[in-house]
Structure 1
Amino acid sequence: MEHITLSFPASRALSGKALAGVVGSGDMEVLFTADAASTLTVDITTSVDNSTARWTALFERLTLQKGLPSGQMIIHDFGATPGVARIRIEQVFEEVEHA
């Protein structure tokens, strides 16, 4: 298991909490808690070693698309594909936006 902590500048503010996915399904879960900071801090626990570059690239793409909200994100990854990872992350952002 690898533990990765990433930090990105946030360009928008949200409020609330959200959860998407279930790690026990062989997939991944994402927990997001919005806050008033100017960064998004992401703590990732993954079964895939040496994946920091992959996670960094994923969040950089999300930044370019819509910007990242400020808050804390916890990801428990059990080898999900980059596509599934992106869906789960977008799901928590959408849930908090519409809460």
Structure 2
Amino acid sequence: MEKLTFEYSATKSVPQRAYVGVVGSGDLEILLEPIEEKKAYVVVRTRFDGFGQVWKGLLDKFFQANDIAAKIEINDFGATPGMVTMRLLQALEVSSSDKAQG
């Protein structure tokens, strides 16, 4: 199991907390929380070691397109990069809707 941490500059805050996904069966969960700082902090816990550069590339691309200030926890159980991106976008959508959880 590997724990990776990333930090990004940000200007847009997210309205509220969100929780999406399920850990297990090749998927992942994402917990997104608004923060006061103009930063994004991401912690990835993955069962696979050695994919730090893949995670960095995926998250760099996501934060270039989505300039959000938030604390994000990602618990991965083997999701593909496409699934990770989909869940991140889903968390943003849930955070902006009345369906936010937490």
TM-score, structure 1 normalization: 0.91
The one-letter code sitting in structure 2 at the alignment partner of 1:83 is G
Map of 1:6 onto structure 2: 6
Map of 1:39 onto structure 2: 39
The alpha-carbon deviation at position 71 of structure 1 amounts to 1.3
Alignment of 1:17-56 (within 5 A): 17-56=17-56
Q: Deviations over 1:47-92 (max 9, x none)?
A: 1211111111111111232x23111100100110000010011110
Map of 1:85 onto structure 2: 84
The question of whether the paired residues in 2 share the 8 Å contact of 1:6 and 1:42 is answered with: yes
* Corresponding pairs, count: 98
The DSSP-based 3-state class of the residue aligned with 1:23 is strand
* Aligned counterparts of 1:21 and 1:33: Cα–Cα separation in 2: 15
Q: For structure 1, which runs of at least 5 residues remain unmatched after alignment?
A: none
* Aligned counterparts of 1:51 and 1:11: Cα–Cα separation in 2: 28
Runs of 4+ in 1 over 3 A off after TM superposition: none
The question of whether the paired residues in 2 share the 8 Å contact of 1:15 and 1:35 is answered with: no
Q: Percent identity?
A: 31
TM-score, structure 2 normalization: 0.88
Structure (1 or 2) with the greater strand fraction: 2
Q: CA RMSD in A?
A: 1.2
